[in-house]
Structures are given as C-alpha cells and as structure tokens.
Amino acid sequence: MIRASKWVTIGTLATVSAMFSLGCNGPHPTGYADQRPDPNQLSDNDSGLQSKDVIQCTDQLVADLLSAPRLNASATQWTLAVGKVDDETTDRMFGTNYDIFIESLRSAISEKGDGRIQLIENRATFDNLRNQEMEGGGDTYGQTGGGNGPSGAINPQYMLYGKAYDMPNRSTNFYMLQFTIVNFQNRTQVWSRTYQVKVAR
C-alpha cells in the first residue's frame, strides 16, 4: 500500500506540473483577445482613426524617409528636432490628439535611423528637464545670462513637424496627415509626405 501510494503521489505531481506548464506556455486564456486586441487590426466597434493608422503611417513614412536620396547622399549626420502636429481638421467628433503620430515617428527614427539622424531634444522640454534636475539650473553650464543655452548644446539643422487635415462627409471622413522636414539654414523643405486614409464616422 505504501508503494502504491507513493506512485499515486508522483503521478499527481506530474499531472499538476504538466497542467502548470500548459498554462504558462499554451494559448492565451479565453477573453485575452478582447482585453488585448491586436493594434494592427481594425475594430468593428470603433470608427475614425485607429491604432492601425498610427502603426501603418509610421512604417510607411519612416521607410520613405530613410530611403530618401538626399538623406543617404548627405556626408554628415542630420540633426533633427521634432515639433508638433497642427490640428487643421474640422470634424472634432473624436477629439484626436494627432501628436501620437509624430511621436511614433520620433521613436521609429531613433530605432531605425542607424546613426544617420541624430534627434535633438526640443529647447523648451530640455530647459524644463534641466531646471528640474540640475543644481543651479543653467548656471551649472556656466551660463549666467541664460541666453545662449548650455555649453556644447547642438542646434538642430532640421525640424520635423506635421499638419492634420480632414474632409468630413455624412458617413465617412477623409484624413490627410502631412509631415514635413524643413532645413533651418535655408528654409527649404527637404522632405514632405502625407498619410491618407478614409474612415467611417
């Protein structure tokens, strides 16, 4: 009886172990897809711009930018600041924050730029962060007047900014999100592309 009990105990432990392993490595539990839907898929219950548009816009525009002949022909690294997206839309039904598109572009440029583009922090954001964390604020850099910024700071040669436009109709809305890079030294637009999509209202 003792020997049989031993084997039953071992068998029970093996079963529990197998169930635990299946729970960790098996398919997601029921309801997971409802709580964590795929951001690359459109939701039938939603309308307007969705997460898929942010991802698709980012992939499309970053691939285009990093293959741009002017960037690849440059003998020097581009120094790029990232601005905001001006909301020029007329349909305010969804209250969309279009900066999510340009912030997604910023991250993708940093990840995939391969050293060809150096992102430069926006001056106002940099000043706020420095004043919060550095003892003496700007004086740490020896800038008593505060007019020239910190020693060694890099002024960006380029700025990426965006504009959002739409053309609403009764049941649909056409969006055009325009992103442009301007050269601060001569005011030329060195790159400008749009992401266009028609959505249900």
Our count of domains for the chain comes to: 1
Residue 174 domain flag:
yes
CA distance 18 to 7: 16
- pTM, whole model, 2 decimals? 0.75
| Beta-strand runs (E) in the chain | 78-87, 117-120, 158-168, 172-183, 189-200
Q: What is the CATH number of the domain that holds 119?
A: 3.40.50
Residue 33 domain flag:
no
Domain limits at 201? 46-137+154-201
**Model pLDDT for residues 61-70, shown as the tens digit of each residue:** 999 999 999 9
**Model pLDDT for residues 114-160, shown as the tens digit of each residue:** 899 999 999 999 989 988 988 765 544 444 344 556 667 899 999 99
Question: Where is pLDDT greater, at 32 or 8?
Answer: 32
| Beta-strand runs (E) in 46-188 | 78-87, 117-120, 158-168, 172-183
Residue 188 domain flag:
yes
Residue 82 domain flag:
yes
Residue 25 domain flag:
no
Residue 16 domain flag:
no
